[in-house]
Amino acid sequence: MSSGESATPLEELLPSTETSLTAEVFVHSLAPVGSKRQQDALVERLSGLADEGVVDGVDLLVWGDSICTGSVLANVGSGERIVSTIGEFYALAAKRGISISPFFRITKVTSSFADESFRRIVPPCRCLALYAEQKLVAVFPCVVDGVAYTPEDAISVLERTRSASVSSRAMADESS
Q: What is the pLDDT of residue 165?
A: 57
Ranking 74-78, 85-89, 128-132 by mean pLDDT, the lowest is 74-78
Band the pLDDT of 5: cuts 50, 70, 90. Answer: low
Q: What confidence tens digit (pLDDT) does each residue in 150-168 have?
A: 999 999 999 998 776 554 5
21 phi, psi to nearest 5 deg: -125, 150
DSSP codes, 8-73: PHHHHHSPPTTS-EEEEEEES-SS-TTTHHHHHHHHHHHHHHHHHTSSS-EEEEE--S-EETTSGG
At a CB cut-off of 8 Å and minimum separation 6, what does 64 contact? 28, 29
Q: What is the pLDDT of residue 33?
A: 67
What is the amino acid identity at position 129?
Answer: A
User: In this structure, are residues 46 and 58 in contact, taking their beta carbons and an 8 Å threshold?
Assistant: yes
Residue 92 has pLDDT above 90, yes or no: yes
Residue 129 has pLDDT above 70, yes or no: yes
Q: What confidence tens digit (pLDDT) does each residue in 37-64 have?
A: 899 999 999 999 999 999 999 999 999 8
Distance CA 21, CA 57 (A): 8
Across the chain, what does the average pLDDT equal? 86
